[in-house]
Structure 1
């Protein structure tokens, strides 16, 4: 542990910073686990956070490649992601991941006889739905008739009741087709947004989750879809600043520490087994992926624990290219008529001193996630040359890929009934993670919300008031 020693038998950890004598263990150091640990510590509990990896941050982390500091993948959030924005404030990181002043997304279409064509999705300072009216009316990648039908579908989407369980049984693609959306409209607009947020094409996505994304992001508040992203490596936020906040809150954080079992001790507390040591706790939050959660659950903790294994996963591939010169003038853009999805300039964040470093974020790429690097190089470098004319005379100084084969849960129809809430049948045991029943797809926002829900459930059971500064969120189930 932190002092380099291991105890042989069970022990209770020291009381919380407020002298409550209550102790919680959080298993998992991703955003969900960090959030739960901070919330519990802020309420006066003694908290131990256990993470098997050598760093915090879960699947939103950084690593070194020579002189570059590289994010494993490009992560963004929206202004409507109020829980993640609270998290950034809580760790003193908001200034390092600012939002756009106003939504503005360059969209380049390469599938045109006349060649490359640029359009934009941006909002005006007008109320919903007029805030996107001019952008949609002038969007060059759809015909006039398609634009009109998009507007009618958006109004129909706005009218859906997200609490209706029937929405989760339908796929978004069929709903779009039934509401007059052409294949081109799905590609050039609905999937442009949906693939990046859901990690699935419309035909593979639950209508409930898709409706939630579009209603919340585009049809709730004029600024809801403004995009934010880290201007520093993710490790600066989710590891260094998060660990600093945890330390300040009195949380004992242990990395490279894998939990092997969680069980009841027969005296109303829980035992958490790690190599060489057993911790006892009044509350335990499992903030790990669904399969790992399944393996750690005590018998009887869930009515249908097998449902966790039925929650599928979806991959994200990230292609990293370093050029010897600047080839992209915008901070990011997205593409149509190409396998390229989103391209981000990560030059400054990575510490690159000359040239330009681009990161391609490729979601829902089931057919590409295991391709050899050479094949991916042959696929994507010519596409970048088509997309960015400035690459024509540029030299590629580095090309590498990062793969997250189980980056998110698969948002397939029916997944909603498989996602558990924060509470279990085992007293004192709670669940967190972006895959739990937050109502959101697998995003940083969902992870933070789940951590808040788990902490609130634990505090309620222990009769402890919620911290005043904790983000207000209702548990979804």
Structure 2
């Protein structure tokens, strides 16, 4: 290519980009660059798009590798759904409503709910918290005071990243029961770690944005179709329409500066030349592909830990759960989702258990997991006691997310590198969010923005604007601004959630 790579200024006629990785971050970056008129090639080593949010077939069922949900405050992911014409297939609740069942109470199984009213923050959760049966009256009052203290924290304060959330909760009067029944109920599912293992900065971001910013911020959305329909088929269709060349089963072996001032991207069957390269792959793979000097301390990428997620899949011969999902206390079971309709099951019911921070279970044999979880489901769901189990299998993702440990914030790099024309994307980069679909999309936008600025190209008008991140428009409310084969029958399948 004749375009000159300048260290600091824009390149005046850059036209070609290669995006390495076809997860949500890579797809987002590819769409944004193509919408700005850049010629884009997207390379994905697997035979599908979607990264860790994908589907596979098991018999007559279409199974998601893990249950993924999002919140109304996940405005980047909502933009992504709109961009691929998938928003109607993953609708949001009208209002937050989470059934929470405790099976360890002395008086027996007890149901409570976390739901919001159409009132301003923090009154929107006041009635629900006041009636929450899983905490004592004194614990509920102390939760309210801790929430107000959390709301006052400055997310820009770097000191928050060095402190753990559990210690902060203890210092603010939160009992072990309050941590279990409320703070970890939400935090483990969103952060993939218990409070004591979580950076206060990330935890504060989650709770301030999701529960203390806008009344509808925490309303839950999830796909009513298999994830592959959204993140693979519809994403591929959007990429094709945007003019992106998408190559699957294309494993990148090296990325290096080209002799013409651009970049050379090697795959086993092809060498591609580009003005811009976006690495949208996990941190270990990014470290392996980075050319010398691209980051000041690339070894920091290897210091970003990972956390596992286990998903347990159970097919019953009858309906045992009437709600679309529930959360559980007093049991190893965390969250249970009804995936019957989305999977194509014609009779009976298919439940998926999403088990975050699952270090104790991630390597257990299937038989041991069956022995552990089926009795717990019978405790949790009385109708499961008479039901027959037609199928039981698990999906595992041993490195599902980056670990949100104290100090992780200083390890997460931004989109720009020291090598002109080379950018990073992925939920593990410095988006300010934990490892979620929202963080992945934001990272793709950040990488595309940085690349377009360097290329001297205008930003597409409809591209998600990060500075408008926290507009959560709630129907009926006044808009406000806050901010492989499955185990049991074959080879292991790695699964995940978010």
Q: Match of 1:416, SS?
A: helix
Instruction: Choose which of 132, 140, 162 in structure 2 pairs with 1:139.
Output: 132
Q: Which residue of 2 aligns with 1:237?
A: 230
Instruction: Choose which of 304, 317, 339 in structure 2 pairs with 1:311.
Output: 304
Instruction: Choose which of 362, 373, 378 in structure 1 pairs with 2:371.
Output: 378
Instruction: Choose which of 61, 70, 74 in structure 2 pairs with 1:77.
Output: 70
Instruction: Tell whether the 8 Å contact from 1:11 to 1:280 is kept in structure 2 after alignment.
Output: no
Scaled by the length of structure 2, the TM-score of the pair is: 0.91
- Runs of 4+ in structure 1 deviating by more than 3 angstroms, as ranges, are none
Instruction: Tell whether the 8 Å contact from 1:315 to 1:369 is kept in structure 2 after alignment.
Output: yes
Say whether 1:112 aligns with 2:105.
Answer: yes
- After TM superposition, the structure 1 = structure 2 runs for residues 177-326 of structure 1, keeping only pairs within 5 Å, are 177-326=170-319
* Separation in structure 1 between the aligned mates of residue 114 and residue 14 of structure 2, nearest angstrom: 54
Would you say how many aligned residue pairs link Structure 1 and Structure 2? 461
Q: Which residue of 1 aligns with 2:24?
A: 31
* Separation in structure 2 between the aligned mates of residue 157 and residue 173 of structure 1, nearest angstrom: 13
* Separation in structure 1 between the aligned mates of residue 260 and residue 39 of structure 2, nearest angstrom: 19
Scaled by the length of structure 1, the TM-score of the pair is: 0.95
Q: Which residue of 1 aligns with 2:336?
A: 343
Say whether 1:424 aligns with 2:410.
Answer: no
C-alpha displacement of 1:161: 0.1
Q: Which residue of 1 aligns with 2:462?
A: 469
Instruction: Choose which of 40, 47, 54 in structure 2 pairs with 1:47.
Output: 40
C-alpha displacement of 1:388: 0.2
Instruction: Tell whether the 8 Å contact from 1:11 to 1:278 is kept in structure 2 after alignment.
Output: no
Say whether 1:58 aligns with 2:51.
Answer: yes
Q: Which residue of 2 aligns with 1:434?
A: 427
- After TM superposition, the structure 1 = structure 2 runs for residues 165-176 of structure 1, keeping only pairs within 5 Å, are 165-176=158-169
* Separation in structure 2 between the aligned mates of residue 11 and residue 230 of structure 1, nearest angstrom: 45
* Separation in structure 2 between the aligned mates of residue 232 and residue 62 of structure 1, nearest angstrom: 10
- After TM superposition, the structure 1 = structure 2 runs for residues 393-404 of structure 1, keeping only pairs within 5 Å, are 393-404=386-397
* Separation in structure 2 between the aligned mates of residue 407 and residue 375 of structure 1, nearest angstrom: 22
Q: Which residue of 2 aligns with 1:391?
A: 384
Q: CA 1:11 to 1:394, structure 2 compared with 1: closer, same or farther past 3 Å?
A: farther
C-alpha displacement of 1:392: 1.2
Q: Match of 1:134, SS?
A: helix
Q: Which residue of 2 aligns with 1:363?
A: 356
Say whether 1:415 aligns with 2:390.
Answer: no
Q: Which residue of 2 aligns with 1:153?
A: 146
C-alpha displacement of 1:474: 5.1
Q: Match of 1:382, SS?
A: helix
Instruction: Tell whether the 8 Å contact from 1:158 to 1:215 is kept in structure 2 after alignment.
Output: yes
Q: Match of 2:466, SS?
A: coil
* Separation in structure 2 between the aligned mates of residue 97 and residue 289 of structure 1, nearest angstrom: 26
Instruction: Tell whether the 8 Å contact from 2:2 to 2:260 is kept in structure 1 after alignment.
Output: no
Instruction: Tell whether the 8 Å contact from 1:36 to 1:455 is kept in structure 2 after alignment.
Output: yes
Q: Which residue of 1 aligns with 2:495?
A: none
* Separation in structure 2 between the aligned mates of residue 215 and residue 79 of structure 1, nearest angstrom: 14
Unmatched 5+ residue regions in structure 1? 1-9, 13-19
Could you report, residue by residue, the CA deviation over 1:266-300 in whole angstroms, capped at 9, with x for unpaired residues?
A: 32200000112110101000000000000000000
* Separation in structure 2 between the aligned mates of residue 409 and residue 96 of structure 1, nearest angstrom: 28
Q: Which has the higher contact order (CA 8 A, sep 6+)?
A: 2
C-alpha displacement of 1:21: 6.3
C-alpha displacement of 1:11: 12
Could you report, residue by residue, the CA deviation over 1:292-351 in whole angstroms, capped at 9, with x for unpaired residues?
A: 000000000000000000000000000000000000000000100000000000000000
Q: CA 1:21 to 1:310, structure 2 compared with 1: closer, same or farther past 3 Å?
A: closer
Give the superposed CA RMSD.
1.5
C-alpha displacement of 1:265: 1.0
Instruction: Tell whether the 8 Å contact from 1:21 to 1:46 is kept in structure 2 after alignment.
Output: no
C-alpha displacement of 1:475: 12
* Separation in structure 2 between the aligned mates of residue 374 and residue 149 of structure 1, nearest angstrom: 42
Q: Which residue of 2 aligns with 1:93?
A: 86
Q: Which residue of 2 aligns with 1:15?
A: none
Instruction: Tell whether the 8 Å contact from 1:338 to 1:383 is kept in structure 2 after alignment.
Output: yes
